[in-house]
Amino acid sequence: MRALLDTVDKALDHDVNILILGESGSGKGWLAETIHRFGSRRDEPFVHVDCAAIPVDLFESELFGFEKGTFTGAVDRKAGRLELAKRGTVYFDEIASLAQSQQAKLLRALEERRFTRLGGAGEVHLEARVVSSSSADVNAALRRDLLYRINVLTVTLPPLRERKEDVARLAEGFARNAGKRVHADALRLLEDYAWPGNVRELRNAIERAALMTDGDTIVPSALPLAEPAELVTVAARDGWTLDELEARYIREVLRQTKENYSRAAEILGINRKTLLEKRRKYGIE
Ligand SMILES: Nc1ncnc2c1ncn2[C@@H]1O[C@H](COP(=O)(O)OP(=O)(O)OP(=O)(O)O)[C@@H](O)[C@H]1O
Ligand SMILES: [Mg+2]
């Protein structure tokens, strides 16, 4: 994530088009807004175009706008999203869901940096920066020339399960916004969960837990995790070696017994001496 943000940071004040890839909930919309907020265009509009939600036959009027009287119901001239974005940022969300005909029209506007309102004669200049996102395979869905146009810089947000270090930081941030803290045991549970819904699921989990929590600390039992991950599931998924699994298990037993070595050895079914050897072997403090 740090390398990714560094790359984005370098591109902030250059007008390159940025394509953000990543699973649903991984933070594509968040990153697009962050790019806008920290870039040179921050005082101009940020306009969201939800490509998956705009019906095919409304695409052009939404994007380019229309002149008064162009069609029934066009009682007034209306600016399209590209025009509303002015010198700000236009964010094409789920761009891979655009139909071929829509792609052709968008490509033309991007290439020529200008377009006409439906039913209009005059041209409008496209001055906004273009940021796009997709959770689907853009190579399969988009025509080459459009893809080249929008992905001068491509950044891929890793799924949350592949950036464990972010889980605690994000969880604490979401909790702080709700006036809460997260108990260390709860953080560990969060870190071991696979987060199929990525950051969105984490945010929801923390916000719900915060509502359920009367005190100021969110404890494990308050967390609404869909399927608490079995340790072995986590281990296999993340490719732990047997030694790692053993080391972590020993560390956890020592923690739970408050470092009572006799008691820990009993639980582990080994003698105290073996436990001390393993502790040294694994560098357990
Ligand atoms: N790095 C982050 N810091 C703080 N909040 C984040 C971060 N990443 C994501 N979020 C939050 O997580 C939620 C999900 O993120 P976002 O909506 O950007 O995901 P997305 O990739 O656009 O998902 P979708 O593909 O479903 O549209 C949002 O509430 C967003 O604000
Ligand atoms: Mg989104």
Nearest Cα residue to atom 28 of ligand 1: 200
Q: How far is the CA of 28 from the centre of ligand 1 (A)?
A: 6
Nearest Cα residue to atom 14 of ligand 1: 200
Nearest Cα residue to atom 24 of ligand 1: 24
8 Å CB contact between 162 and 151: no
- Among all bound ligands, the one having the nearest atom to the CA of 176 is 1
Atom of ligand 1 minimally distant from the CA of 33 = 18
**Separation between Cα atoms, residue 92 and residue 48, nearest integer Å:** 6
Q: Which CATH number fits domain 160-231: 2.60.40.1180, 1.10.8.60, 2.60.40.10, 3.30.110.30?
A: 1.10.8.60
Nearest Cα residue to atom 13 of ligand 1: 200
8 Å CB contact between 93 and 49: yes
Atom of ligand 1 minimally distant from the CA of 32 = 18
Domain 2-156: CATH superfamily, name plus number: P-loop containing nucleotide triphosphate hydrolases (3.40.50.300)
Q: Is the CB of 24 under 6 A from ligand 1?
A: yes
Nearest Cα residue to atom 30 of ligand 1: 30
Q: Is the CB of 22 under 6 A from ligand 1?
A: yes
Q: How far is the CA of 74 from the centre of ligand 1 (A)?
A: 36
Q: How far is the CA of 224 from the centre of ligand 2 (A)?
A: 23
Give the pLDDT of residue 210: 95
Picking from 127, 126, 196, 124, the residue whose alpha carbon sits closest to that of residue 160 is: 196
Low-confidence stretches of the chain (pLDDT < 50) are none
- The mean of the pLDDT values for the chain is 92
Give the pLDDT of residue 227: 58
Q: Supply the CATH classification number for the domain 240-282.
A: 1.10.10.60
- What is the dihedral sign for C-alpha 176, 178, 182, 188? negative
Q: Is the CB of 89 under 6 A from ligand 1?
A: no
pLDDT above 70 covers a percentage of the chain that reads 98
Beta carbons within 8 Å of 131's beta carbon, 6+ residues apart:
17, 18, 19, 20, 32, 35, 36, 89, 90, 91, 92
8 Å CB contact between 86 and 128: yes
Give the pLDDT of residue 193: 87
**Domain boundaries in the chain?**
2-156, 160-231, 240-282
Q: What is the pTM of this model?
A: 0.81
8 Å CB contact between 215 and 254: no
Mutate to test the pocket of ligand 1, among 51, 200, 207 (most ligand atoms within 8 A of CB): 200
Nearest Cα residue to atom 29 of ligand 1: 200
Atom of ligand 1 minimally distant from the CA of 29 = 18
